Amino acid sequence: MRFHRPRFVVILVFMHSAPASPIRVVAVEDDARYRASLEVLLRHSNTFVLEDSFAAPAALLERLSAFVDSGGHPEWDLVLMDLDLPGMSGVECTRRIKAVLPGVRVVVLTVFEERHTIIEAICAGADGYLLKRTSAHDLLMQLQSVMAGGSPLSAAVARTVLEVVRQVNARAPARAPGGSPRVALTDREREVLACLVRGMSYKAVAASLDISIDTVRSHIRGIYRKLQVHSVAEAVGGALRNGLV
């Protein structure tokens, strides 16, 4: 259920001094009421300047494509990205933005705190993951943090990430004396695993590698067995931890 009320205007007094170069922000949010509250918050902040806001990923990607086609790039510093969006997920939109503008920070701002969603977004390139219940003051502080090189996570999200890391550590395969993990993945399994690390769905993996979804599932079962894990999140964590892709 989408029920976000614009509460942000109550903290505008916290932003006193303007930086030399305001942080240029765009927002992708289909909830008109929440998008309006973000616009009010950012437009009254001396730290940030709202360049634009979009109700769907397609509109942002069209704008980005127009810049690229003209031989330039949009002057965006930060993208605030919802996940449940019309036409395309925020995860896929994040991946496409990062492919063209790797230096732009993308912070997920969503109600979703499921484990697989968090891992998919981070693997797609998200620089932070915040929940919409984050207070306005904390949101501004977290956005400043990401621009300073941090990776802000809401408390509930941070707990989920820690749980994934602990589970990966608990199930980590034995290491050889030289320190390399004893994991004998086939070339195809490594390709499938690399796709999972990028946050791709089973269907997207199948299309990318020109194989059936059943074949993808078969490879994933093999990956699970060899990594001694039981979920995509654990497989991704094991791949990143052990440098398998």
Domains of the chain, by residue range, sit at 8-160, 172-242
pLDDT for the residue numbered 107? 95
Higher pLDDT, 132 or 10: 132
Query: Could you report the per-residue pLDDT of 34-89, keeping only the tens digit for each?
Result: 999 999 999 888 899 999 999 999 999 999 999 988 988 888 999 999 999 999 99
Q: For residue 18, what pLDDT band results from cuts at 50, 70 and 90?
A: very low
CA-CA distance, 130 to 35, in Å (whole number)? 15
3-state secondary structure of 78: strand
Say which CATH topology domain 8-160 has: Rossmann fold (3.40.50)
Binning pLDDT at 50, 70 and 90, where does residue 6 land? very low
The model carries a pTM of 0.66
Cα 45–18–132 angle (5° rounding)? 30
Q: Candidates 2.40.50.140, 3.40.50.300, 1.10.390.10, 1.10.10.10; correct CATH number of 172-242?
A: 1.10.10.10
**Dihedral sign, CA of 65, 69, 70, 75?**
positive
Residue type, 184: A
Where do the H-state alpha helices sit in the chain? 32-43, 57-69, 90-100, 115-123, 136-147, 155-171, 187-197, 202-209, 213-227, 232-242
Give pLDDT, residue 14: 39
pLDDT category at 176 given cuts 50, 70, 90 is very low
pLDDT above 90 (res 145): no
